[in-house]
Structure 1
Amino acid sequence: MSTSGPFMAPEPTSLPIVGSAERFYVHRVYCVGRNYAEHAREMGNDPEREAPFFFAKPADAVFAVDEGVPAYGVAPHTVPFPSETDNLHYEMELVVAIGVGGADIVRADALTHVVGYGAGVDLTRRDLQDAAKALRRPWDLAKGFDFSGPCTPLVAASAIGHPASARIWLHVDGEAHQDGDLADQIWPVPDVIAALSRFVTLRPGDLIFTGTPAGVGRIEPGSTVTAGIDGVGDLTFRVV
């Protein structure tokens, strides 16, 4: 493997693990759309009629917000405001870390594939997403841009179990905007894993962002976002 020149191997994306010197090396990032009924409704959709659907982010869109990304000049607890948007939205989500791969996983076995959890924000260029929807085009550049997945360090499932009910919340500049519960997910984590594994073979290192509760909205340069999931972790970042 080349370590210099035009074919130099890129630095792998990884997240720290609470209480461990080891890191979780990110393979792929999948995201679930419209997994909370009230959020589906606020986006103009009927949650009673939809099976789970998925989209993806590049692995290096995810980073531990308390570490920043020194190689790209991103300081700890900051997130760069992306180019080509006038309407950047936050979406607070439970993040599932896959430690054991598999395909066609049955729901009863799904949680045995989970090694840990985090709390992450799916940042979205909402204006680009709305335009893509109107033209029936992919959402890639609306969802998969640089630094669009700020995340907490991961906490091992062996330490906290598998949270099925916990407060999930997000504040902007000290004002509450999202306040829900994981129990409100239309498709809980085992269902999400079972559904996704019918489409792709899950691999160790895959992350799944599991959807956001109601209350998504706009953030601007200078906004400070504080968010978390009780028992999993919390994060704070300033948009710069």
Structure 2
Amino acid sequence: MSVAQDFVKYGKKIIAIGRNYDAHIKELGNPPNAEPWFFLKPTTAYLRNGGTILIPEGVQMHHEIELGVVIGKEGRDIPKEDWEQYVAGYALGIDLTARNFQQYVKAKSLPWTSAKGFDTFCPISEFVPKEEISDPMNLVIWIKVNDQERQRGNTSKMIYDIPELIRHCSSIMTLQEGDLILTGTPEGALGLIVHGDNITAGLESPEGKLLASWNGDAANRIGGYKFAQQV
């Protein structure tokens, strides 16, 4: 098995694109971006299908369903027209956010990696080879909590498409085999996940064929960091 095929084990970084769907920007009351904007999540946040999401004490956890792009070979300053040469495949990812923690540190102009980087904060599906997806810019992504749909969107609604994301990210940092680019989330990302919830998510073709999925539960974390907002 190649590094890209087992990116969860061997990948070095998760690049998460923010504010890449207009409706999501509006629901959070954020201004649009002049260019793609991203942050990093640690690979220790990965959680394979069937795992249990752990909610740190004091955290209000929100879900953000996203298409992930798995990088297949190292590249720097990649031209847009060459983007596909650097893609090994795709995956379905959930970018979990400690929203109250994030809002607190953002209000103080502090970094908010911690709010995105807890263990289990990146549930991830199986690897999908690029040959199985004819058009990654026309895929349906959705997430349900306790069988109630929370988010559903189409990757065609991205502000910045995958070729531009690869060009932009590689102009800043070298992309390596096994890296994952989470491409942003559609509207509906303010939904709360709490102890005992069941979470299901899917990546589908426009015709409704299921290409990848994730299913697991959520539970309160015992021990570890506790978020207590300071006045």
Question: Scaled by the length of structure 2, what TM-score is found?
Answer: 0.86
| Aligned with 2:48 (options 51, 58, 64) | 64
- Equivalence for 2:218: 239
| Aligned with 2:56 (options 78, 82, 86) | 82
- Equivalence for 2:182: 209
CA apart distance, 1:205: 1.4
Task: Determine if the alignment matches structure 1 residue 99 to structure 2 residue 72.
Answer: yes
Contact 2:126/2:213 (CA < 8 Å) preserved in 1?
A: no
Output the amino acid matched with 1:238: D
Contact 1:94/1:209 (CA < 8 Å) preserved in 2?
A: yes
Task: Determine if the alignment matches structure 1 residue 43 to structure 2 residue 16.
Answer: no
Output the amino acid matched with 2:91: G
Contact 2:52/2:120 (CA < 8 Å) preserved in 1?
A: no
Task: Determine if the alignment matches structure 1 residue 26 to structure 2 residue 5.
Answer: no
CA apart distance, 1:149: 0.4
Deviations 1:73-95 (A, max 9, x none): xxxx321222441x100000001
Task: Determine if the alignment matches structure 1 residue 200 to structure 2 residue 173.
Answer: yes
Contact 1:39/1:214 (CA < 8 Å) preserved in 2?
A: yes
- Equivalence for 2:222: none
- Equivalence for 1:183: 156
CA distance in 1, matches of 2:89, 2:154: 19
Deviations 1:192-221 (A, max 9, x none): 111101110111111111110000111101
Q: In percent, how many aligned pairs have the same letter?
A: 37
CA apart distance, 1:65: 2.2
Task: Determine if the alignment matches structure 1 residue 157 to structure 2 residue 130.
Answer: yes
Task: Determine if the alignment matches structure 1 residue 221 to structure 2 residue 200.
Answer: no
CA apart distance, 1:108: 0.9
CA distance in 2, matches of 1:198, 1:177: 34
CA distance in 2, matches of 1:185, 1:56: 19
Output the amino acid matched with 1:55: F
Structure 2: stretches of 5+ with no match in the other structure: 206-210, 220-231
CA distance in 1, matches of 2:153, 2:23: 10
| TM superposition outliers: structure 1 runs of 4+ over 6 Å | none
1:115-194 equivalences under 5 Å are 115-194=88-167
Deviations 1:166-225 (A, max 9, x none): 111111111111111010011111111111011101111111111100001111011111
- Name which structure has the greater RCO, CA cutoff 8 Å, separation 6+: 2
Question: Scaled by the length of structure 1, what TM-score is found?
Answer: 0.83
Contact 1:101/1:113 (CA < 8 Å) preserved in 2?
A: yes
- Equivalence for 2:225: none
Alignment length (residue pairs): 209
- Equivalence for 1:70: none
- Equivalence for 1:53: 37
**Matched position secondary structure for 2:216:** strand
- Equivalence for 1:4: none
CA apart distance, 1:162: 4.3
